[in-house]
């Protein structure tokens, strides 16, 4: 079964609402476990819980725009750059959520968290950008050769 954005994906707000709702439900399990293991209250976990919702909100809107770009026939290099930058931005947002949550829950020292965030953002962002860029270009090339379907689910 293929995901269709024809009806569901026409409206970015429905895409974000349902995607974020699904993300928050999936995120609930690990936070319930963290509540028991770390012996924290729901109020103490509310900030980190919401911080982990931000990366998905960013990525969901970027995915929607990239699908629209592909439908419009944007050049393969521009589309590949878009996917690479989108995933790099997702990694940065995820890093912010992880290190914010670590400091907020008392698992990391602030100074260590800042240095670690900078290092992981530089490495992770670059690795993800170039990996996705080349993967998308390869997939677009294969599609144009008639070997695969597009990046956009139909």
How much of the chain exceeds pLDDT 70, in percent? 88
CA 122 to chain centre: 17
Torsion of CA 74, 10, 15, 134, to 10 degrees: -20
Examine the pLDDT at 153 and tell me if it is beyond 70. Answer: no
Instruction: Give the separation between CA 55 and CA 98, rounded to whole angstroms.
Output: 10
Length of the chain measured in residues? 154
Tally of CB atoms within 10 A around 8: 12
**Range 103-130 burial, b when 16+ CB lie within 10 A, else e:** bbeeebeeeebeebbeebbeebbeebbe
> Poorest-confidence range of 6-10, 27-31, 60-64, 142-146?
6-10
Give the 3-state secondary structure of residue 130.
helix
- Band (pLDDT 50/70/90 cuts) for residue 152 is low
Q: Which residue did the predictor score with more confidence, 153 or 63?
A: 63
> Mean per-residue pLDDT for 24-32?
88
Over the chain, what is the mean pLDDT? Answer: 84
Q: Specify the pTM.
A: 0.77
């Amino acid at each position: 079964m293929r995901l269709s954005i024809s009806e569901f994906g026409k409206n970015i707000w429905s895409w974000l609402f349902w995607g974020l709702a699904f993300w928050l439900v999936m995120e609930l399990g690990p936070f319930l476990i963290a509540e028991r293991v770390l012996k924290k209250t729901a109020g103490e976990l509310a900030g980190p819980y919401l911080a982990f919702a931000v990366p998905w909100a960013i990525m969901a809107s970027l995915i929607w725009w990239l699908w629209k770009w592909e439908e419009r026939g944007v050049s393969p290099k521009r589309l590949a750059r878009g996917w690479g930058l989108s995933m790099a931005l997702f990694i940065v947002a995820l890093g912010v959520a992880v290190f914010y949550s670590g400091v907020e829950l008392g698992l990391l020292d602030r100074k260590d968290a800042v240095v670690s965030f900078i290092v992981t953002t530089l490495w992770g962002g670059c690795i993800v950008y170039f990996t996705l860029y080349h993967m998308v270009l390869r997939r677009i090339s294969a599609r144009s050769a008639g070997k695969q379907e597009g990046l956009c689910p139909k």
